[in-house]
Structure 1
Amino acid sequence: MPKNGTTSDLPQQYLDRFPRDREQECIEKHESMLSRRAQEIASIEDCAEAAAQTVIQGSGLRAFIEPLLEPLCFGLVDTLPQGVATYSVAYSHGGKYVATGDDRGNAYVFDAANKHIVFQKGVEVKALIPSPVCFIPDGQSFIFASGGLVQHQQIEVCDIATKTVRRSLNHKSGVSALDVSNDCRLLASGDFCGAVHIWDLEQGVKTKEFIAGDGYIYDVKISPDSCFAAAVCDDGYAYT
């Protein structure tokens, strides 16, 4: 790293050196594949007829995968290098932004189209504590855990357009996972001690807390109807 540089400068420095030829190669492969698929598939009706022919009575369960639904991606394009260890990543619901969290208490929001950093937040710390990130379904706000201390972390709700913190939630423990409900009302957070916390984002208060397991909560999800939360723990169990 340059003597006058900082850790926060690294992401943009790397992005400026992104190999454009690799990105163009990926685009050309995608376009070529779409052309080939158009020639191979005459119509959706043909696919439906083929699907019906794969179901044979008495032969067990079979599945037909419509070719149009096969993955359309080729290769790996390294577009968002940060220069530091990255522990979490999330897409905004509209696909406009990508957020990442590193091991030093920082979170970054990139414009997915041009790969530029549009927002960066966090306090540089030396503790190797991952910063989980997630987007609110409105596509304009994201949430991350800052602080870097196992015993005490803040959950910050940030507005991307204004580059400000809308609300801070005092977690009082290390944050290992985050998820927002589809209606944007609730936030679920997991910690390092097997607990799941449910927050009211409008009021900025914790409404529920339950022990899901004995150990680190690796992931937490809120059900589509906002009535349940599921968590996975390093004790080998999944909880709802």
Structure 2
Amino acid sequence: EIDPNPIRLKPVELIEFLPVPVPPDLRARLVVARSGAAATPAAMSELDTEVGKLLADAAKKVAGARLGEVEFIASCGIPVARVSAPSEESKSDDGAGAPPEVVRIGDAAVLARDTARCVVSDFVPAESDENGVFSTADAVLFRHLLDDTRTVEWHRKPTADTSCGLVVVHFGAMAAMTALSGTGRVLRSFDCGPGNMVMNLIVQNAAALGLEPKDPKDETLAEKLRAGEMRFDEGGKIAKGGRIYHGRTKDAPID
């Protein structure tokens, strides 16, 4: 039996937002951990502790003198990589392969210790499909959502089913890239690193990519973009300057 009265939820209000930069040395080691090079258990454990301290410092800066009033802190850590267990080890009792896991660092125990607050962690569900590729699961959705981007002319070309007609990038904990053919078939789909790292790279190279602030008179922001000094799109000023394309693609496929 369904209650006809809809459930009314109170909107979530963002009270405070504070960017906390990652020290250059720690950032460099996170990149190493992401690549898998020299990511030894000892190095990962050290990073886990350091990121936990960084998260604690961020929480204390945001809360300030009111930290004692905070009931709990929720942290899903920082995603750095996706790993898969060896094929034999990853098989369950029914023979099915276990999906890979996203490695997140940022020791919740350190966060709780340094803030003296209750910390909720490890609440992010599995982020991959049964084949172990999160982006492939998204590809099915992309195919339907972006169906209208195919023109009749391109759809009828002899190579429509084998050549790339559209590339879609999805930003989540792990960014994913999917190449679709002119007929909507998934040609290739793969992860391309933690979503925040990909977004940071785009913002840092905004000028080269032709991204501009919405307000052409914002000379301060424009200069930061030219100098590559921005780490994130503060206030969404770059995103607000974007244009939504409502038409259909007319160009040849992207090679």
* Common topology (TM > 0.5): no
Higher-RCO chain (CA-CA 8 Å, sequence separation at least 6): 2
So what's the TM-score if we normalise by structure 1? 0.21
Between structures 1 and 2, the one with greater strand share? 1
So what's the TM-score if we normalise by structure 2? 0.20
